[in-house]
């Protein structure tokens, strides 16, 4: 990033202390996140959230059906059918391109650029 | 006549105090500006969307020089984030650097997958979409050979494609901080353990997986990251360039995408649980993704301080590839600063250009 605060800044020691503190906080937090109990609990919470979301979605679908309106699932189903048609079009295009390859007409800059004279290799590992 | 100059004894301390006062004033002025101004624009290099297919966008950037290299580059963006990280600001744009260096640049970028796109799986991302884009790049350029490049999970997709299509006329494969051994991504591996994480139940219930879940996972890798970022912002609020770049990067890192349900299920089961890419047993679109099948020139840029994809996870790409011409470069920087910003402009971009130029004719 562009110029950070310089060494002459009297706040530098506070900055360093904050950096150390953040480092220690990261270590502590990661030790907690790394436990099996945390993994298990967080996944239970995620699952619970997903179930609630699903339940609300089902209830909303029933309400929409009562009012004779399409639900999200109905709209998604139409989208899926469109996607299938899109897939078919891509396959047809592909097949047509293979059967009768179009004469490629390209415009734009010339593709004749050459690399600059080679410098000494800087590869660190091959 | 001799002139006498007297050095003020407190000039060092005075200078420091003056600087501190100036910065405090600037910090207050620019702090008000920060909260009052609109989000800075990103992704401004001129481009054309030459193909759109659901969540996929294929961009062709307008060349900036009169003579370009023969071989075009197709860059695959990670599926979790937006592709404008390659073009974050005019002076810090990877794409603009490549265009000025004489490359013809195409980028595969992703939109939010729509609800019906929950059925898109790893086969779609690593096979169909890339094949589709390669065909269109060939149509536009008239060139058979293409350099395939990918960042992070985009690198994984590019690697899988190259490994499953050894017959394809790819000229080079360039990857940036691309994981291969997913067991070495310790926090992700721990949090996605199959004994606790029922990925089927999650995907069956929600369809596409919300970006908040992924954002939380990334935050867990560096819990103080956000606070440290805000502290750095406050500390450097006096510096307009810093603030503008920070805002752009913050916008990008928060602009995460949901993942298509089946794709999330596939990556969890095949990559995280089975570690199939590393073991050479990954099946994609009926083909085995054995990295040893890759024989084209390979470049892999990895970051020394990458907290998301550690070196232990990424070092196997070059080691496993069957290419004779393969290069791994370990550069200073983190997961994002490897490819975007002043660090990338100084390190990765010129290194890649030097490697790629002679392989793009």
**pLDDT tens-digit series, residues B309-355:** 999 999 999 999 999 999 999 998 889 889 998 889 999 999 999 99
**Bigger pLDDT: A98 vs A113:** A113
For residue B49, list its beta bridge partners. B59
Closest partner residue to B241 among A2, A11, A51, by Cβ? A2
Contact call for A90 and B132, based on CB within 8 A: yes
Q: Is residue A81 part of a domain?
A: yes
What average pLDDT does the segment B169-183 reach? 96
Does residue A98 sit at the B interface (CB-CB below 8 Å)? no
A103 pLDDT more than 80: no
B7 pLDDT more than 60: no
Closest partner residue to A2 among B69, B128, B245, by Cβ? B245
What average pLDDT does the segment B26-49 reach? 78
**Bigger pLDDT: A49 vs B274:** B274
Closest partner residue to B351 among A86, A111, A122, by Cβ? A122
SS3 for chain A is: CCCCCCCCCCCHHHHHHHHHHHHHHHHHHHHHHCCHHHHHHHHHHHHHHHHHHHHHHHHHHHHHHHCCCCCHHHHHHHHHHHHHHHHHHHHHHHHHHHHCCCCCCCCCCECCCCCCCCCCCCCCEC
User: How far is A116 from B43, CA to CA, in rounded Å?
Assistant: 29
B37 pLDDT more than 90: no
A41 and A52 in a common domain: yes
A38 and A61 in a common domain: yes
* H-run or E-run covering B171: strand B170-176
Q: How confident is the model at residue A102 (pLDDT cuts 50, 70, 90)?
A: low
A24 pLDDT more than 60: yes
Q: Is residue A120 part of a domain?
A: no
Contact call for B190 and A34, based on CB within 8 A: yes
Supply the pLDDT for residue A105: 60
Per the prediction, chain A carries an average pLDDT of 78
Does residue A41 sit at the B interface (CB-CB below 8 Å)? no
Q: Give me the domain span that covers residue A90.
A: 70-100
A75 and A60 in a common domain: no
Supply the pLDDT for residue A124: 45
What average pLDDT does the segment B245-250 reach? 85
A64 and A74 in a common domain: no
Q: Which of A10-24, B63-77, B86-100, B286-300 has the lowest mean pLDDT?
A: A10-24
Domain count, chain A: 2
pLDDT cut 70: percent of chain A above it: 80
Nearest CA in chain B to A2: B242
B229 pLDDT more than 50: yes
What average pLDDT does the segment B291-310 reach? 94
A63 and A23 in a common domain: yes
Domains of chain B listed by start with CATH number = 47-357 (3.40.50.1820)
Residue partners of B82: CB distance under 8 A and separation at least 6: B109, B110, B252, B255, B257
Contact call for A8 and B119, based on CB within 8 A: no
Supply the pLDDT for residue A9: 62
Does residue B193 sit at the A interface (CB-CB below 8 Å)? yes
Supply the pLDDT for residue B270: 96
Are B208 and B54 spatial neighbours (Cβ–Cβ below 8 Å)?
A: no
Per the prediction, chain B carries an average pLDDT of 89
Residue partners of A58: CB distance under 8 A and separation at least 6: none
Q: How confident is the model at residue A126 (pLDDT cuts 50, 70, 90)?
A: very low
Q: Please give the structure tokens belonging to residue B204.
A: 């069956």
Q: Is residue A9 part of a domain?
A: no
Q: Is residue A123 part of a domain?
A: no
A75 and A58 in a common domain: no
Closest partner residue to A39 among B68, B190, B358, by Cβ? B190
B260 pLDDT more than 70: yes
Q: How confident is the model at residue B53 (pLDDT cuts 50, 70, 90)?
A: confident
Residues of chain B found within 8 Å of residue A111, distances taken between Cβ atoms: 68-70, 104, 141, 143
Q: How confident is the model at residue A2 (pLDDT cuts 50, 70, 90)?
A: very low
User: How far is B96 from A15, CA to CA, in rounded Å?
Assistant: 35
Are B233 and A2 spatial neighbours (Cβ–Cβ below 8 Å)?
A: no
B3 pLDDT more than 50: no
Residues of chain A found within 8 Å of residue B227, distances taken between Cβ atoms: 22
Tell me the per-residue pLDDT of B104-129, one tens digit each, with 9 for 90 and over: 999 999 999 988 899 999 999 999 99
Provide DSSP, B289-330: --GGG--S-EEEEEETT-SSS-HHHHTHHHHH---SSEEEEE
Residue partners of B294: CB distance under 8 A and separation at least 6: B159, B162, B163, B166, B173, B321, B322, B323
Q: Is residue A44 part of a domain?
A: yes
CB atoms within 10 A of CB B145: 17
Residues of chain A found within 8 Å of residue B329, distances taken between Cβ atoms: 123-125
Q: How confident is the model at residue A3 (pLDDT cuts 50, 70, 90)?
A: very low
Q: Which residues 32-61 in chain B show a CB within 8 A of chain A? A: 53-54
Q: Is residue A34 part of a domain?
A: yes
Supply the pLDDT for residue B178: 96
Supply the pLDDT for residue B4: 44
What average pLDDT does the segment B240-254 reach? 84
Nearest to B174 by CA among B98, B99, B236, B230: B98
Tell me the per-residue pLDDT of B67-87, one tens digit each, with 9 for 90 and over: 999 999 999 999 999 999 999
What average pLDDT does the segment A16-21 reach? 84
Supply the pLDDT for residue A125: 42
Is ipTM strictly over 0.90? Answer: no
Supply the pLDDT for residue B60: 96
Of A68, A92, A110, which marks where a domain is finished?
Answer: A68
A11 pLDDT more than 80: no
A89 and A54 in a common domain: no
For residue B149, list its beta bridge partners. B75, B174
A57 and A23 in a common domain: yes
Are B63 and A109 spatial neighbours (Cβ–Cβ below 8 Å)?
A: yes
Does residue A77 sit at the B interface (CB-CB below 8 Å)? yes
A66: distance to nearest CA of chain B, Å? Answer: 23
Q: Is residue A37 part of a domain?
A: yes
**Bigger pLDDT: B352 vs A77:** B352
A34: distance to nearest CA of chain B, Å? Answer: 7
A62 and A81 in a common domain: no
Q: Is residue A112 part of a domain?
A: no
Supply the pLDDT for residue B297: 97
Burial track B69-79 (b if 16+ CB lie within 10 A, e otherwise): bbbbbbbbbbb
């Amino acid at each position: 990033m562009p110029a950070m605060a310089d060494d002459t800044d009297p706040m530098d020691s506070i900055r360093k202390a904050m950096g150390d503190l953040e480092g220690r906080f990261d270590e502590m937090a990661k030790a907690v996140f790394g436990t099996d109990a945390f993994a298990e609990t967080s996944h239970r919470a995620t699952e619970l959230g997903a179930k609630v979301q699903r339940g609300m979605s089902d209830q909303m679908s029933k309400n929409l059906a009562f009012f004779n309106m399409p639900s999200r699932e109905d709209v998604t189903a139409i989208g899926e059918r469109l996607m299938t048609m899109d897939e078919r079009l891509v396959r047809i295009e592909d097949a047509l391109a293979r059967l009768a390859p179009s004469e490629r007409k390209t415009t734009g800059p010339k593709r004749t650029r050459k690399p600059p004279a080679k410098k000494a290799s800087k590869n660190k590992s091959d | 006549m001799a002139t006498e100059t007297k050095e003020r004894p407190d000039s060092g301390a005075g200078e420091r105090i003056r600087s501190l006062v100036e910065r405090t004033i600037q910090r207050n002025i620019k702090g008000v500006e920060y909260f009052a101004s609109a989000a800075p624009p990103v992704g401004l290099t001129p481009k054309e969307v030459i193909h759109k297919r659901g969540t996929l966008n294929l961009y062709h950037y307008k060349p900036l020089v009169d003579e370009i290299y023969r071989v075009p580059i197709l860059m695959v963006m990670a599926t979790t984030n937006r592709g404008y990280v390659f073009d974050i600001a005019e002076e810090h744009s990877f794409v603009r650097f490549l265009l000025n260096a004489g490359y013809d640049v195409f980028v595969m970028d992703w939109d939010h997958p729509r609800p019906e796109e929950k059925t898109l799986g790893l086969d779609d991302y690593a096979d169909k979409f890339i094949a589709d884009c390669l065909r269109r790049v060939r149509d536009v350029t008239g060139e058979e050979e293409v350099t395939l490049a990918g960042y992070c999970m985009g690198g994984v997709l590019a690697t899988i494609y190259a490994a499953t299509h050894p017959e394809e006329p790819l000229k080079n494969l360039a990857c940036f901080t691309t994981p291969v051994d997913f067991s070495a991504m310790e926090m992700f591996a721990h949090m996605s353990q199959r004994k606790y994480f029922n990925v089927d139940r999650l995907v069956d219930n929600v369809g596409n997986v919300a970006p908040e879940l992924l954002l939380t996972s990334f935050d867990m890798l560096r819990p103080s990251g956000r606070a440290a970022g805000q502290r750095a912002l406050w500390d450097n609020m006096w510096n307009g360039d810093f603030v503008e770049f920070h805002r752009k990067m913050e916008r990008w890192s928060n602009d995460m995408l949901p993942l298509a349900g089946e794709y999330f299920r596939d990556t969890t089961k095949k990559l995280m649980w089975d570690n199939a890419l590393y073991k050479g047993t990954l099946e994609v679109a009926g083909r085995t993704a054995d990295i040893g099948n890759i024989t084209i020139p390979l470049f892999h840029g990895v970051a020394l301080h990458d907290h998301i994809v550690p070196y232990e996870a990424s070092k196997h790409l070059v080691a496993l590839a069957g290419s004779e011409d393969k290069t791994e470069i370990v550069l200073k920087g983190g997961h994002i600063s490897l490819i975007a910003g002043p660090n990338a402009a100084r390190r990765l971009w010129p290194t890649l250009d030097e490697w790629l130029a002679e392989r793009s004719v």
